[in-house]
Amino acid sequence: MSYQIKINVFEGPYDLLLFLIKKGEIDIYDIPIAKISKEYLEYIAIMRSLDLEIAGEFIVMAATLMRIKAKMLLPIHVEEEEEIEDPRRELVQNLLEYQRIKNAAEQFEGFEFRSSMHFPRGDTVKDETMEAQDGDFDIQMSIYELVVAYHAVLQKRVEKTYHYVLPDPATIEEKMEEILRLLDVQKRISFHQHLMSHGERIIIVINFLAILELAKRKQIRISQSQPFRNIWIYKYI
């Protein structure tokens, strides 16, 4: 005989914490951090013993709880006039905000259910794709669709390269000229989009070499605002 048990999924650490607070009938404005931390960790341990996937955010929260607990254990030297902030303050605010949204989400679920009892006229949604596009009442399409289309068209190119094994005759000199020509008509070029999005590996390599050469000759300037951000290519002025 086997039992199949349904387990509710906690949406995140706040969800789990709120559950523990409710279960323990705890005053949210005065959370016994030691007790809650212990229960929280026990729960994580159980999940782990069951080989359940635990999202990183749950672990981060465990560390946060430990930190708050440590702070609360520290002896407090009350200086005159100084307001001491409760180490739990931020956590409580976040929990309240999440609870508010959770309640709203439950109401939304009710709206969704009520609305799903009404069916629009048939023949309006012939298939899935039509349905996904159905919302633009104001003669407007979503920008998301545009980006997805662009993404897809570039992906298609990458796939294509598996079928054609034609080495591109382009040379580094040609690519250098092409880059400079583009910079005549536009202010800057996105490194990823313009130069690395060509499917053929050889072209990417040639493009890359062309950029290095231009940079060496001080004909272009390369800049990146932050690590991992887009790299921009400007004309050297």
Piece in contact with other proteins (CB under 8 A), picked from 66-74, 75-83, 102-110, 165-173: 102-110
Q: Which distant-in-sequence residues (6+ apart) come within 8 Å of 157 by Cβ? A: 197, 198, 199
- Is the CB of 160 or the CB of 217 nearer to other proteins? 160
- State the CB neighbour count (10 A cutoff) for residue 212: 13
Q: Site for other proteins (CB under 8 A): which residue of 34, 41, 70, 141?
A: 141
- Tell me the C-alpha distance between 142 and 145, whole Å: 5
201 near other proteins (CB under 8 A):
no
Helix (H) or strand (E) holding 180: helix 172-185
Site pattern 36..75 for other proteins (x: CB under 8 A): -------x--xx-xx-xxxx-xx--x--------------
What residues from 167 to 186 belong to the interface with other proteins (CB under 8 A)? 181, 184-186
- Is the CB of 98 or the CB of 208 nearer to other proteins? 98
For the bound state, the minimum distance from the C-beta of residue 63 to other proteins, rounded and expressed in Å, comes to 13
190 near other proteins (CB under 8 A):
yes
Helix (H) or strand (E) holding 223: strand 220-224
Say if strands 220-224 and 188-190 run parallel, antiparallel, or are unpaired: unpaired
For the bound state, the minimum distance from the C-beta of residue 121 to other proteins, rounded and expressed in Å, comes to 6
Give the relative orientation of helices 89-115 and 13-23 as an angle to the nearest 10 degrees. 100
Q: Exposed, middle or buried by CB within 10 Å (0-12, 13-18, 19+), for 180?
A: middle
Q: Site for other proteins (CB under 8 A): which residue of 131, 168, 173, 174?
A: 131
